[in-house]
Structure 1
Amino acid sequence: MAFHLFLVVKNIYFLTVHILGNGFLPREPELPPGTGELLPGELICARPRRPNPVNPVTPIATDPPQTWIPGETVLPGTEIPFPTLDTNTPIATIEPETRPPPPPRRDENHTLVTGWKQQRIGCCPAGSATGSIVYQGQACCVNVTYNSTLKFCCLTKKLVLDITPENTRFCYPVNRIPYCRVRDLDLEVYRPLDVSCTFNKQKNPLQCDFVCPVGSKISGAKKTTCSSIGTWTQPASCCEGCPTTFTHDIWFIVDIDSGVGVGAMSDVRKFITGLASYLPISQMNVRVAVTAYNRIVFTDQQTWYLDAHDSYATLDFAISRLPNEGLGRNAGAAMTWVSNNAFKGRLGDRPAVENLIVLIATGNPDDSITSAAAALRNIGRLAVVAVGPDATSSDFASAATAPSSENFLRVPNFLALDNNVKYVYQLLCGRNCITQ
């Protein structure tokens, strides 16, 4: 009877293998991220944590046996301590594996797998307690794991490359003179970032300048050079700015009192053009208007409306012609004029588009700005930039839309304006790398 039962079980086993071998092999179940079964002899690279009910800032190591041990090889019979806040330290003893191997299955690449899961042979980077696991058939190069049958590690370039004749020549040049390739800057990842390069007689790039389209700026290095070992000195970054589809109506109210001096006013003009350089200026996207004031509110060439400029180039030219003349700072009168006259459809306002008003003051106002500020806050978001040693009134911070920590900017001197040209862009769009 026992012999017949053995034959039945054996036949069922081979029948199961036969059925699974015809394309019906189950996929290996995926474990939740950061967890896994602790098996003897496996090298582990990370340990998940669970919240600490006593002190949330200090998590506790996950209780055994479902845990990872950082950077250690766990052998049968090993006792592993798991420290907690308690005085008693729990101990886990790893027992030798006694289970039968699992049935044949297919991995994520639909490759037939028999026996236990592919053995872990290391961590990447080597010895790291927080790195990625390296399995059999893989290797680690510049902190990246790769399939060692399809790719190779080019240490001279600090790159993982496909095994091809071209890449082999690139990594180990026949003439022993290292060179760079534009494609290794991975520009496709950072579009619309582009490059303008100079080349040698062999048509190998020597230096590349990173280029961003109008309405955005390079967030990192502006250029990169091919080093003597054939690697780029600077990685590609991204083009920083508001998205190309971003829309807004922005009105600047600018103090042009001549008391600050010609140089300071030049810094103010440069600041405004810098603010606009991160925005997609056009009649379809971001429209920009300006009202200038000193003791009077200018309504002639020192003011233009939202429908005046369709490109950054024409806007930049108009800002460069803002004068530095007259005395007095009737900021309240200028803000009142804008609230009563500016945001009108006949002057280019778009009812469905959000409004931003930016007051740039180079000194304390000669009149009250409280009621005018309240009126402007009903029209849109009011941001206030107080520049220089004479713009210290507490009314500026209270005039801005709440919270003032976001919508009020105090710049102690005019030279520091250049460090704040991202203010409006980050106020509206956050820190953003634009993509095509």
Structure 2
Amino acid sequence: MRHEIKAQAYGPMGEPMAKAVSTCVHCGFCLSACPTYQELGTETDSPRGRIILMKEVLEGKLPLETAAPHLDACLGCLACVPACPSEVQYGDLISPFRALHQGQQKRTIGSRIKRMLAQRTLPFPKRFRLAARTGRLAKPLRSLLPAPLRVMLELLPDSLPAAQPLKSHYPAIGQTRGRVAMLRGCAQSVLDPDINVATIEVLNRNGIEVLVPPEQVCCGALSWHVGNLRQAQDFARRNLDAFPADVDAIVTNAAGCGSGMHEYPMILKGTPSEPTAVDFAGRVCDVSVYLAKLDRLEPIPACRPGLAIAYHDACHLSNAQGVRTEPRQLLSCIPGIQLREIADGHLCCGSAGTYNIDQPEIAASLGQQKAAGVIDTQAQIVAMGNIGCLTQIAKHLQLAGSAIEVRHTMQILRDAYAGRLGHELG
């Protein structure tokens, strides 16, 4: 009864939160799966510790200020979910909790400015591109800026690829086997627009017609995971209207975006849009899942003999969406490659949305460890399905002096179809 009363007190999202709290039996299986527990080694920085903290705050027994540092340190990677024998839906607790309490949390001026800038630029490609260019000009002055703003400047790439605007329609090549609508993404369309181009080429080559709805906006994942519920709901509603219903699927090629769109029923819980959100989320899938379900793929030419590709599991693909075998299955269709696994592959690389802005020390340590794991595979290429992971791992491989190439799974398949996979590596 206590959980039922608490659920009522916290509105539509209260019931999933209460269920997550009550399901946890504090067994500790999550400890070895949690990257921040491995880093910090304290119970309050473990999933079960954070569940207790959130429970105490929700019941009014603990001030938010006491719990906040430990909850802020959570990556939201959801590695604890597949590790949990009780099947605690940790994502149904941490994100709603942040949505309910972020407005009450006291933060420094620098931290508030940093969060405001991230939320007003990253979800808007034109703003993000302008901010990145402006920020590069300010890099020589970063020593004069507050620490939170210095972190943001240091994360900016030295250069940006040219924009690659997308058409609204890409017909299938040959016989049409399917029809999908694609999310183009925000940060990805600025940092590596070729991922979308490669995704469309692979789909078209396999007989899939691709629509890119021009009215679409940010998926809302970044806003949702930092507790900006109003912005997340606005993005979600606009995408519900933007994407057509007469397609086989709504495909994504960024793990964080796909996970965010699967969470639309929670983001819009208790609103008139909730039933539409449930139907919408059921039609969203990662592009690797859609391709793997096809009866067959168009034959792929053999690559350079002995080419080794390591595969990195993006957290919001493997943990949040349960997508692990499909990308590996697709890569294994390339004749001649050696597919290699990364040790401790379940551990997050430290990107996690804005985490490397909010928690730069932990993010850097996790990035270094992930880069070391990739290097140990002795692969020439590392594949993945998320732009945040791609930029984080590429940065730390470069810092480690490694020449391993970082590519999206769709870019690798596109290059394989073109007969140029691995040849440029010498």
Question: Structure 2 length normalisation: TM-score?
Answer: 0.22
Q: Higher helix share goes to which structure?
A: 2
Question: Structure 1 length normalisation: TM-score?
Answer: 0.22
Q: Higher strand share goes to which structure?
A: 1
Higher RCO (Cα < 8 Å, 6 or more apart): 2
* Higher Cα radius of gyration: 1
